[in-house]
Structure 1
Amino acid sequence: MMNKIRKFWNDEQGQGMTEYGLVLGLIAVAVVTALIALRGHIIGLFDNAEDTVNTGVTQMGTTP
């Protein structure tokens, strides 16, 4: 029984997958944090793009 417990304790199979999962989780947290921090700037970019498209459509003489 002790031999099985030692074997289980020393088994490192799956360790690599766990590390990849942790790294992926950290990357996800970093992306979400960056999106939250840059939220205002991103909204501004889309607002500018919308205004540019609307101006172009208006200058062509058609309405959206």
Structure 2
Amino acid sequence: MMKKMKALLTEEQGQGMTEYGLVLGLIAVGVVAVLITMRTEITALFNRAVTAISGAGTEAGS
């Protein structure tokens, strides 16, 4: 019984998963920060893409 208790206390499998979770959380925070910082540039890029797609559709129909 003591061996099982000692093995339970020294088990490191859960610790690795916690580290992966922390790294994933840090990456997510970084991505959100970049998206917030570049919000206007991203919006302009999508607007240009929509305009180009819309313009291409009207030119083909003419």
Range class of TM-score, shorter chain: 0.7 to 0.9
The Cα RMSD (Å) is 2.0
TM-score (normalised: structure 1): 0.71
Structure 2 equivalent of residue 50 of structure 1:
50
Gaps of 5+ in 1: none
Matched positions, count? 56
Between the aligned partners of 1:50 and 1:27, the Cα distance in structure 2 is: 30
Gaps of 5+ in 2: none
TM-score (normalised: structure 2): 0.73
Between the aligned partners of 2:30 and 2:11, the Cα distance in structure 1 is: 28
1:54: how far off? 1.3
Identity between Structure 1 and Structure 2 (%): 52
| Structure 1 segments of 4+ aligned residues over 6 angstroms from their partners | none
Between the aligned partners of 1:15 and 1:38, the Cα distance in structure 2 is: 35
